Amino acid sequence: MVLVVLPIMFLFVGSLRGEEGLSLEHFREAISGRLYVQALRNSLVLGAWTGLFSMIIGLPMAWAASRTNVPGPALFRITATLSYLSPPFLTAIAYVNLFSPNAGVINVFMREVVARRRLTFNIFSMSGLVLVTVLHTFPFVFLLASSALQSVDASYEEAAQILGAGKLRTALLVTLPLIAPAVLAGTLLAFVNAIALFGSQAIIGLPGRIVTLPTRIYALFDYPPQYGLASALSLLFIVITVAALYLQHRFLVRRSYVTIAGKGHVHSA
């Protein structure tokens, strides 16, 4: 507890130190300065798109692995685990080698061999940053959704099918609402991790002039260092993270109301 609270206290004290004593000037600049507002906006956009695509990728994978007879369901879990464990900065470097505008292997192939310049992709963009980040965040949705699907009380789905609901209707109106808290919790975890991944944001974002809160805070330590402003921005970052984690916790608490009961799940084709 001390290892967490004490640094935050030092950040708070540092953020209040102005040129003439205690002041809120650093917080005012953090929430009104154009550069810092833009960094905050970029972080929120990155987190939102990453959370959305993590859900779009992770939920179907979880459904396929848990509720269908797709061959090799363990492969989905291995893929998700490896994606999460791979160092983000290495993934960023790999994609820069593939999609760098001028020297990326795939871009050069599309431009010089296929002669389709329109098919090239600029990795140094918000789209590129989201792409690289999603590779490390979709496992949160996949793992939480898989766990929820495996623990859903099958009697609810069986009752719906007995009453005449088809498999698709049962999935949409019964199963998905039951696992929604877990899916949303995984999406929020993806959001939090997306805005905190400094390596990919520095390697891909900075060359594309996409500055986020982590890279803006890092820049404030250049000479002359602006510790007070960096502390204020760091506290703002902590507030966003804690709020997202609180919502994630609330969703997980809601998840337990019906899913951890009954006979377990049943496979559908």
On whether residue 264 sits in a domain, the answer given is no
Radius of gyration in angstroms for the set of CA atoms belonging to the chain, rounded to a whole number: 22
What is the number of structural domains in the chain? 1
On whether residue 19 sits in a domain, the answer given is no
On whether residue 10 sits in a domain, the answer given is no
Residue 22 pairs in a beta bridge with 17
pTM: 0.84
Cα 30 from Cα 39, distance rounded (Å): 10
For residue 122 the two structure tokens come to 């600029």
Please give the pLDDT value at position 205.
93
Helices (H), the chain: 2-15, 25-32, 34-67, 73-85, 88-99, 105-108, 126-151, 154-162, 167-170, 176-196, 198-200, 213-219, 227-255
Residue 21 pairs in a beta bridge with 18
Residue pLDDT, tens place only, 50-104 = 999 999 999 999 988 888 777 777 888 888 888 888 899 999 999 999 999 888 8
Residue pLDDT, tens place only, 7-49 = 778 777 777 776 666 777 778 888 888 888 999 999 999 999 9
What is the residue range of 144's domain? 38-255
On whether residue 30 sits in a domain, the answer given is no
Residue pLDDT, tens place only, 94-106 = 999 999 988 889 9
CA atoms within 13 A on the CB side of 60: 5
Q: How confident is the model at residue 115 (pLDDT cuts 50, 70, 90)?
A: confident
Cα 99 from Cα 204, distance rounded (Å): 11
Please give the pLDDT value at position 267.
53
Place of tokens 């154009």: 34
Residue pLDDT, tens place only, 199-251 = 999 999 999 999 999 999 898 888 788 888 888 888 888 888 888 888 877 77
Q: How confident is the model at residue 265 (pLDDT cuts 50, 70, 90)?
A: low
Please classify residue 3 by burial: count the beta carbons closer than 10 Å to its beta carbon, then call 0-12 exposed, 13-18 middle and 19+ buried.
exposed
| 110 close to 117: Cβ distance less than 8 angstroms | yes
| 42 close to 133: Cβ distance less than 8 angstroms | no
Please classify residue 268 by burial: count the beta carbons closer than 10 Å to its beta carbon, then call 0-12 exposed, 13-18 middle and 19+ buried.
middle
DSSP assigned state of 225: P
On whether residue 16 sits in a domain, the answer given is no
On whether residue 213 sits in a domain, the answer given is yes
On whether residue 11 sits in a domain, the answer given is no
Query: What CATH number did the domain enclosing 222 receive?
Result: 1.10.3720.10
Taking residues 129-136, what's their average pLDDT?
A: 96
265 vs 244: which has the higher pLDDT: 244
Which among 31, 82, 55, 67 is positioned nearest to 144, based on CA atoms? 55
Please classify residue 248 by burial: count the beta carbons closer than 10 Å to its beta carbon, then call 0-12 exposed, 13-18 middle and 19+ buried.
buried
On whether residue 6 sits in a domain, the answer given is no
Please give the pLDDT value at position 21.
66
Other C-beta atoms within 10 Å of 259: how many? 22
